[in-house]
Amino acid sequence: MIRDPERREYLEYLSLGAEIAMGLSLPLFLGYWLDGRLGTSPWLLLVGALTGIFILIGLTIRIANRSNGKDRGS
């Protein structure tokens, strides 16, 4: 466990960036790959894009709630 608050905050932001990147790119690439395998282009890519957008909305809400908790001193 990291006890240095500055490093901990840095790692939180680093993991946040990774969550956002993977939350959008993974469903997109999976949809693209499945379209190539199944010949359903562009439908599964669109489903992957919409899934990624919903994941990003959920992450944004979670980040906002986490930030509000820090502001209040929780």
pTM above 0.75, yes or no: yes
Residue of 69, 67, 66, 32 lying closest to 48 (CA atoms): 32
Q: Which residues of the chain have pLDDT under 50?
A: 74
What pLDDT, on a 0 to 100 scale, did the predictor assign at position 28?
96
What pLDDT, on a 0 to 100 scale, did the predictor assign at position 63?
83
Compute the C-alpha angle 25/14/24, nearest 5°: 15
User: pLDDT tens digits for 19-29?
Assistant: 999 999 999 99
Q: Residue 74 has which token pair?
A: 């929780």
What pLDDT, on a 0 to 100 scale, did the predictor assign at position 73?
53
